[in-house]
A = this chain, B = another copy of it.
């Protein structure tokens, strides 16, 4: 989210590859060439791995080529501590195997970048993760011979947002990267989702970095391997929705609902039943925006949700990055 909200028109598309895939499937049929998908589910935690392997697949999906892991936990908003611990553990395992897949080595230096604004609750995920992450780089710099085995050099920054700093996050990160030369960037960001029920219940891991919007006049740069010269893993959690996507999504749910009851949904929903989803979203936006109704919204309980998810990600990262941290009891670590 971070900077992008200030200066750029969000695309009609979602930030989640999973949702992009759902939309593409709805339009293009069940299999998308060059896009592989694998799903695991275990006691309330669903893991979907999507690999976008070809340019053609990327184009259909509207997503950059790369590997996407989505962890969905519909019950995550219920304050169940046990479930939170299991999610942190799952996240740590998935993230650790992602590191292996990308060829990241045990002692490779990691810089965690917490994007977003710590004063705007739904945008504070990145800074909150930074605060709760175990950093070790300074021990390697100052007293290298005293660092125990099983730890790697990890550092973490929260660069702030354009409206507060006057500097693109990506410029700040580039400056720091050139100075401290990490081997890997992990960027944490809050996302927009198309579905309110995914907000604060879903974590996406992707090896594609952070891509800025592509609108006209957008001079800002992202956090990608191309720009930074090192791999960049993005961790994203949807924390907000556009009102228009809530409306559009609700109409879609009504369609599905009535299809189970009648074979004439057109009678109920009129033209809304027929036009493609993206056109319908455009229509909704066209109506809502001029009236100031297309606000970005977040659940009322966001203060608590965002803290819980930040703790899950921070403790998961601590376990995934440091061999010495127990990967089977991740939750115990962070307070």
Hey, which chain B residues are within 8 Å of A179, CB to CB?
171-172, 174-175, 178
Q: Which of A18-26, A294-302, A322-330 contacts B (4 or more CB under 8 A)?
A: A294-302
> Mind listing 12 A-B residue pairs with CB under 8 Å?
A74-B292, A81-B335, A130-B160, A167-B180, A175-B176, A196-B295, A197-B292, A268-B271, A296-B300, A297-B298, A298-B299, A298-B302
Which residues in chain A, 226-244, are within 8 Å of chain B measured between CB atoms? 240-241, 243-244
Report if A250 contacts B (CB, 8 A): yes
Query: Closest chain B residue to A218 by CB distance?
Result: B142
Instruction: For the complex, give the distance between the alpha carbons of A196 and B178 in Å.
Output: 42
A167 contacts B157, C-beta separation under 8 Å: yes
Report if A11 contacts B (CB, 8 A): no
Given A142-B7, A246-B247, A302-B121, the answer on whether A165 and B175 have CB atoms closer than 8 Å is no
Q: Which of A29-37, A65-73, A132-140 contacts B (4 or more CB under 8 A)?
A: A132-140
Copies of this chain, whole number: 4
B172 contacts A303, C-beta separation under 8 Å: no
Instruction: For the complex, give the distance between the alpha carbons of A271 and B269 in Å.
Output: 6
Q: Which of B253, B254, B293, B302 contacts A197 (CB 8 A)?
A: B293
Instruction: For the complex, give the distance between the alpha carbons of A199 and B267 in Å.
Output: 34
Instruction: For the complex, give the distance between the alpha carbons of A199 and B195 in Å.
Output: 21
A288 contacts B142, C-beta separation under 8 Å: no
Report if A120 contacts B (CB, 8 A): yes
Least CB distance from A148 to B in Å reads 16
Instruction: For the complex, give the distance between the alpha carbons of A195 and B122 in Å.
Output: 21
Least CB distance from A283 to B in Å reads 8
A299 contacts B300, C-beta separation under 8 Å: no
Q: Which of B120, B142, B250, B291 contacts A301 (CB 8 A)?
A: B120
> A157-195 vs B: 1/0 string, CB under 8 Å?
111101111111001101111111000000000000001
Instruction: For the complex, give the distance between the alpha carbons of A219 and B247 in Å.
Output: 35
Hey, which chain B residues are within 8 Å of A207, CB to CB?
none
Query: Closest chain B residue to A201 by CB distance?
Result: B292
Which residues in chain A, 282-327, are within 8 Å of chain B measured between CB atoms? 283-284, 286-288, 291-293, 295-304
Q: Which of B81, B153, B272 contacts A269 (CB 8 A)?
A: B272
Residue of A244, A267, A299 contacting most chain B CB atoms (<10 Å): A299
Instruction: For the complex, give the distance between the alpha carbons of A124 and B335 in Å.
Output: 20
Instruction: For the complex, give the distance between the alpha carbons of A288 and B196 in Å.
Output: 10
Least CB distance from A94 to B in Å reads 24
Instruction: For the complex, give the distance between the alpha carbons of A160 and B111 in Å.
Output: 14
Q: Which of B123, B253, B299 contacts A297 (CB 8 A)?
A: B299
Hey, which chain B residues are within 8 Å of A286, CB to CB?
257
